[in-house]
């Protein structure tokens, strides 16, 4: 099986379409969405139905929850807050109930997915150092865990002797070792923050035992222009070009 795994779309329709175009050529059997479909961008009502049509296991992100008042706005900076309030105003009750239906953690025989960390998933903690990665590993029951949230692609690796290592790269391909466990942050489709503006798309091949992470060029100028036209903070448009 080939899984297409992606996260943090953030209402960026151009980036989402470019990623799905890329996946079309990749013979994907099943998609997984790691949350934050909405927030920041101006196309929440376009992105939600696209995700629904993929019929993919989708976990809730902090922005998805904030829009439906399941997560407090006090945790967001002023730009994010403004976009969440804007999004709340444009979503239909059906779209909101879809966000409300999302689970926090997905787990099957192959993998686990969670937007932030398995350590209190509803608190949306970041896995941004070795301690927080270890805390997540301590709850992990599968050998693979896919996460998003930080918008920065990074792979944490734990071996049987409990040695923890990590690397971060704007694109990568890893051969999975059956004696190791992995937490893989699949970066962001709609708002990367590793200083590479291109959209992130991850592929897990269960037969080849590989995980690859690719970057996809998209029409960032058009996304940025629309954010400004929608009356959202111009900072949210500018940062798209910088990938930060
Ligand atoms: Zn996000």
Per-position pLDDT tens, the chain of length 244: 999 999 999 999 999 999 999 999 999 999 999 999 999 999 999 999 999 999 999 999 999 999 999 999 999 999 999 999 999 999 999 999 999 999 999 999 999 999 999 999 999 999 999 999 999 999 999 999 999 999 999 999 999 999 999 999 999 999 999 999 999 999 999 999 999 999 999 999 999 999 999 999 999 999 999 999 999 999 999 999 999 9
What pTM does this model have?
Answer: 0.97
Nearest to 6 by CA among 210, 142, 192, 200: 200
Q: Rounded to the nearest whole angstrom, what is the distance from the C-alpha of residue 96 to the centroid of ligand 1?
A: 17
Is residue 69 classed as helix, strand or coil in its secondary structure? Answer: coil
Q: Rounded to the nearest whole angstrom, what is the distance from the C-alpha of residue 61 to the centroid of ligand 1?
A: 7
Contact predicate 4/202, CB 8 Å: yes
Phi and psi at residue 29, to the nearest 5°:
-90, -30
Which residue blocks in 69-155 are alpha helix, DSSP H? Answer: 78-90, 93-101, 130-139
Q: Rounded to the nearest whole angstrom, what is the distance from the C-alpha of residue 192 to the centroid of ligand 1?
A: 9
């Amino acid at each position: 099986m080939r899984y297409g795994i992606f996260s943090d779309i953030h209402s960026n329709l151009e980036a989402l379409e470019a990623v799905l175009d890329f996946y079309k050529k990749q013979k994907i059997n099943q998609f997984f969405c790691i949350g934050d479909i909405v927030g920041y961008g101006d196309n929440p009502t376009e992105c939600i139905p696209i995700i629904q049509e993929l019929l993919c296991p989708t976990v809730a992100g902090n922005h998805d929850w904030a829009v439906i008042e399941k997560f407090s706005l006090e945790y967001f900076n002023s730009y994010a807050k403004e976009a969440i309030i804007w999004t709340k105003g444009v979503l239909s009750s059906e779209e909101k109930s879809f966000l409300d239906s999302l689970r926090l953690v997905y787990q099957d025989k192959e993998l686990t997915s969670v937007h932030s960390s398995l350590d209190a998933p509803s608190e949306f903690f970041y896995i941004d150092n070795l301690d927080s990665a270890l805390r997540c590993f301590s709850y992990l029951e599968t050998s693979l865990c896919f996460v998003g949230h930080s918008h920065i692609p990074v792979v944490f690796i734990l071996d049987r002797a409990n040695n923890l290592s990590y690397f971060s790269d704007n694109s990568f391909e890893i051969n999975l070792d059956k004696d190791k466990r992995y937490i893989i942050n699949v970066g962001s489709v709609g708002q990367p923050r590793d200083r590479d503006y291109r959209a992130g798309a991850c592929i897990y091949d269960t037969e080849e035992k590989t995980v690859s992470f690719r970057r996809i060029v998209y029409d960032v100028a058009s996304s940025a222009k629309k954010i400004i036209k929608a009356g959202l903070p111009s900072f949210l448009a500018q940062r798209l070009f910088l990938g930060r």
